[in-house]
Structure 1
Amino acid sequence: MSLFYDRAKIYVKGGDGGAGAVAFRREKYVPEGGPSGGDGGRGGDVVFVGDEGMSTLVDFRYKRHYKGDRGEHGQSKNMTGKSADDIVLRVPVGTVVLDDDNGNVIADLTEHGQRVIVAAGGRGGRGNARFMSNTNKAPTLAENGEPGEERWLRLELKLLADVGLVGFPNVGKSTLISKVSAAKPKIADYHFTTLVPNLGVVELEDGLSFVMADIPGLIEGAHTGAGLGHEFLRHTERTRLILHVLDISGSEERDPLEDFRIIRKELRLYSPALAERPLLIAANKMDIPGAEENLQRLKDELEEGQEVFPISAATGEGLQALIYRIAQLLPDIPMPEIANYDEEHLVTKAEPEKRFEITKDNDHYLITGKEIEKHVRMTLFDHEESVYRFQNILKAMGVDDALRDAGIKEGDSVEIAGVTFEWE
């Protein structure tokens, strides 16, 4: 399992279809007008759309239930009910959608504008005009709308942040991320069940915002998978800008220039593309004696044009300039390519589903199963012909025989999808 993800769990349900109508033409000079009940409209789908302007699933923490509207019912004069509008939910590019029941991947949104239906609306029920036949010229039969699909989804976002903080342990990354709020922007903490204490949304007063992640300390040999190695590096690949935090004071008995070389080397060995990612350097702990000399040594060694920001995360010194520079650079940095979800997860095993199951409790029989429950919900039980058709469906599916085999007797009750019938 990957080390850290932004995650959310939500319930989605497509809208139910509208019911079909039972109606007959009532016209002058037409003594026996034919059936004219129209079909119901389709229920609204719940649709996800990839949006590269978003970088977190935090909205789904506050609202977790999404239901599509039902289609309108059919009307007389063969008028079909209006179909409901879809519910469109925007999710960050890089979101993987999994079925919470079985863990199967439903979608991997890797492109801006990519659309995926995650819960389809039900089709509209047929009106009685559809049931006319040579043997039945005036059917009083119609259908309820089909129920919309419903499911719990797990959303996982692998695109971690706009800005990834890299650096050795204890250089002050966590302090920096928690202090950015002192420089006018404010930080919202998201809680991850991970080794990452902080992922913050830095908001500036003019409506600009970006996501900053404090990534676990990188150690020498990370590119070979040592320590957190690959987990760290794999996530940095989805970062647009790297902020390299150095303990410029050398307070941990390490040389900041040596730290800088090691981490640059690790990034290059793991991924040349990553080493080319835009980089800013935050020279932290400027409030500690010895920092000034090391800062000068660092500047002397760096290539021309490499930007260094002397800061003190502890006192807040220099943070505002750093944050505003990041906000200025981000719009011009393209999103890195997002790798697709591992193919192995996309395998779905086709297992033939039982059409129905019967459980018995004394003289009460409960029948469950997707197909049979759908037929119950689509049957209009106040029309005799609809009930008769439903009985034929039960026979055709083998339900009658199965109940007899299970020992059902006259007067026993049978329950399907919350509707109870008496066995005759």
Structure 2
Amino acid sequence: MKFLDLAKVYLRSGAGGNGAVSFRREKYIEFGGPDGGDGGRGGDVVVEAVDGLNTLIDFRYQQHFFAKNGQGGQGRQRTGKDGDDIVLRVPVGTEILDEDQETVLADMTELGQRVVLAKGGNGGFGNLHFKSATNQAPRRANPGQPGVERTVWLRLKLIADVGLLGLPNAGKSTFLAATSNARPKIADYPFTTLVPNLGVVAVDGEEFVVADIPGLIEGAHEGRGIGDRFLGHVERSGALLHLVDGTSGDVVADWQTIVNELEQYGGGLADKPRVLVLNKIDALEAEELEERRAALAEAAGTDVIAMSGVSGEGVTEVLRALRALLKREAAAAEPDPTEGAPWSPL
């Protein structure tokens, strides 16, 4: 299945049915009075977050979604049938944006969440509704309200526990393939990964989800190389795994490039807890490895784990560090059970 994380769709809710003008006509009933029914209401356009989807590819082939109109009222006080709703089924993590691509209308972060994007028009009143003591035979009815037309954007932000970051060819896909059942494309050239990949990683009997996004370049936060869309996929992650290519000519500059992009992008990405890893150590001599590791640790002000996704050296240590980080974040997010509790004497 092809991956698509941005789609434009056109919506129109159903119009309400017209009210009816009708009078009761039966034998032996001389003054039957009005009996026109109300029109049915138009259908809504609804978006729902469902399980089993991780792409918006369906919206590439269908962009127009129109709900049904309500039926008109009829005589004998019969109300018209309501129009059927139309439901857009999207993956969990989809943002609904207005036509300006900036205003967030809804954020579908929970399974089963439903949001009405375009409400159907109300049905018109039949002439029975206008009967009064001074107007026993009204001959007017209301038309149904029109439906709502709008254009929205769907933007998918994958939900994962850990987001992989790094420059192109830093070894992110190799790490994901070595630690999960995911099979991303791997090759010895930059920009091998063109779409995000998800993988379930296990260590010491516990599992968490890792998102591998295409490599970032300088200016990614401004959309260069559509990097702003890629960064959106790790925006919801609980922690970040920053891979630095150990064979690069300047590992500190490579690290700084990614950090700058996180800070410029905003959204709290720069404040997320991170594990910093020097990758591809199988291609380095011991002395060269220690020199680059020390330089990177000094610049980042944090510990640096040495790893090789190809040989497997240090991979388990990285996974355990991520697991510990996720546990700490989960514990910190839990509310204090004693907070707000009623006072009681000891």
TM-score band, normalised by shorter chain: 0.5 to 0.7
| TM value normalised by structure 2 | 0.60
Map of 1:119 onto structure 2: 118
Cα contact 2:121–2:146 (8 A) shared by 1: yes
Show structure 1 runs of 5+ residues with no match. Answer: 189-194, 335-424
Q: Which residue of 1 aligns with 2:337?
A: none
Aligned to 1:214: 214
C-alpha contact (below 8 Å) 1:14/1:46 kept by paired residues: yes
Measure, in 2, the Cα distance between the counterparts of 1:331 and 1:80: 56
Take 1:272 and 1:27, find their aligned partners in 2: how far apart are those partners? 70
Distance 1:330 1:28, change over 3 A: farther
Alignment of 1:4-403 (within 5 A): 6-26=5-25, 30-48=29-47, 57-84=56-83, 86-89=85-88, 90=90, 95-99=95-99, 103=100, 107-109=104-106, 112=109, 117-130=116-129, 137=137, 139=139, 145-156=144-155, 159=157, 162=160, 163-168=162-167, 170-173=169-172, 176=174, 180=177, 183-187=180-184, 198-204=194-200, 211-218=211-218, 238-240=235-237, 241-248=239-246, 250=247, 252-254=248-250, 256=251, 258-259=252-253, 262=256, 266=260, 274-290=269-285, 294=289, 298=293, 309-312=307-310
Q: Quick check: 287-296 or 48-57, which moved more?
A: 48-57
Aligned equivalents of 1:236 and 1:205: distance in 2? 18
Tell me the distance in 2 between the aligned counterparts of 1:17 and 1:51. 29
Residue 294 of structure 1 aligns to a residue in which SS? Answer: helix
User: What's the CA shift string for 1:25-75, capped at 9, x where partnerless?
Assistant: 356753221111111111122134689998764453354332223334434
Q: Distance in 2 between matches of 1:326 and 1:63?
A: 44
Could you tell me how far apart the structure 1 residues matched to 2:15 and 2:27 are?
A: 37
Which structure 2 segments of 5+ residues have no match?
Answer: 186-190, 331-346
Percent of aligned pairs sharing the same letter: 31
Q: Which has the larger radius of gyration?
A: 1
- State the alpha-carbon separation in 2 of the partners of residues 319 and 142 from structure 1: 77
Instruction: Give me the whole-angstrom Cα distance separating, in 2, the residues matched to 1:21 and 1:276.
Output: 62
Deviations 1:349-378 (A, max 9, x none): xxxxxxxxxxxxxxxxxxxxxxxxxxxxxx
Asked if the contact 1:166/1:218 (under 8 Å) is kept, the reply is no
Instruction: Check the 8 A contact 2:24/2:32 in 1, yes or no.
Output: yes
Give the superposed CA RMSD. 5.4
Taking structure 1 as the reference length, the TM-score comes to: 0.51
- Contact 1:40–1:145 (CA<8 Å) still a contact in 2? yes
Q: How far, CA to CA, are the matches of 1:326 and 1:57 in structure 2?
A: 33
Aligned length: 305
Decide whether aligned partners of structure 1 residues 301 and 105 sit closer, same or farther in structure 2, where only a CA change above 3 A counts.
closer
Would the aligned equivalents of 1:200 and 1:213 in 2 still touch at CA under 8 Å? yes
Distance in 2 (CA, whole Å) between partners of 1:30 and 1:278 is: 81
Q: CA deviation at 1:294?
A: 1.6
